Amino acid sequence: MRAVGLTHPGRERSRNEDSYLVKTGKGLSILAVADGMGGHVAGDVASALAIGVLERYWNEMSPEKPPPRERFAEIIKNLIKKSNTLILEEAARDSSKRGMGTTLTAGLLRGRSLTIGHVGDSRAYLVSTEALTLLTKDHSLLEQLIQAGRISPEEAEGHPKRHILVRALGTSADVEIDLIDIELSEGAALLFCSDGLTSMVRDEEIHRAALNHPDPLLVAQALIRLANERGGCDNITVIYATEIGR
């Protein structure tokens, strides 16, 4: 698998509160994006703590002898819970970090088998020549309003409350985690990203950029460039992976 991760602070923020992880091996790969909660103290600390838990797991296990596929959901769920606990403990220890939090969208990939653990509004997409398919659901106030039929997706664009989360790590000891299990088809690609991309660039434009560039690095660079050209109002993080299962 070929995978690239890139992050950029954007054009309006002096500090980048996003963190990401790209680890690939013959038997197992980990892809993850964490977006520290904007407007909260130490958002960068929270996202780094969450990604650090995943990185330590990678360093302690053997990617050449990965766990069985049926344990993926349990593993990713436990890692996210551990991240949440670590963030809460750090905030309790240091009063300057109270209120910090982060999103986390993390995937374990073995061959074409993918398990995603998801909290917040960072996203995971499946990319094919035919379509860009959203695999995760935003845990945001706007998504709740859309699902309730109170606003349309078009009305949600540019909405002043679009960044309000209803679920994130660091906000409660009992975190609810979405788990997504899928089998990827041959030729599929994966995109993990923070909302600094999706709040600036439409899905159809993301899909077009992915199809226009055969190399993962060029895709990631093009998407970050697009988000900045549209204003770059937030930190932007992109992970793009191709040749899944090879």
Asked if the model's pLDDT at residue 136 lies above 70, the reply is yes
From the list 157, 134, 136, the residue with the least C-alpha distance to 145 is 157
Q: Is 101 helix (H, G, I), strand (E, B) or coil?
A: coil
Phi, psi angles (nearest 5°) of residue 38: -60, 140
What residue type is assigned to position 209 of the chain?
Answer: A
Q: What is the pLDDT of residues 11-61, one digit of tens each?
A: 998 899 999 999 998 889 999 999 998 556 799 999 999 999 999 999 998
AA letter at 141: L
Q: What is the pLDDT of residue 187?
A: 87
Q: Give pLDDT tens digits for 216-233.
A: 999 999 999 999 999 999
Non-local CB neighbours of 70 within 8 Å, separated by 6+ positions: none
Looking at the structure of the chain, the number of domains it has is 1
DSSP-derived 3-state class of residue 209 = helix
- Distance, in Å, from the CA atom of 182 to the CA atom of 184, rounded to the nearest integer, reads 6
pLDDT at 244: 77
Q: Which domain does 73 fall in, by range?
A: 2-242
CATH number of the domain to which 64 belongs: 3.60.40.10
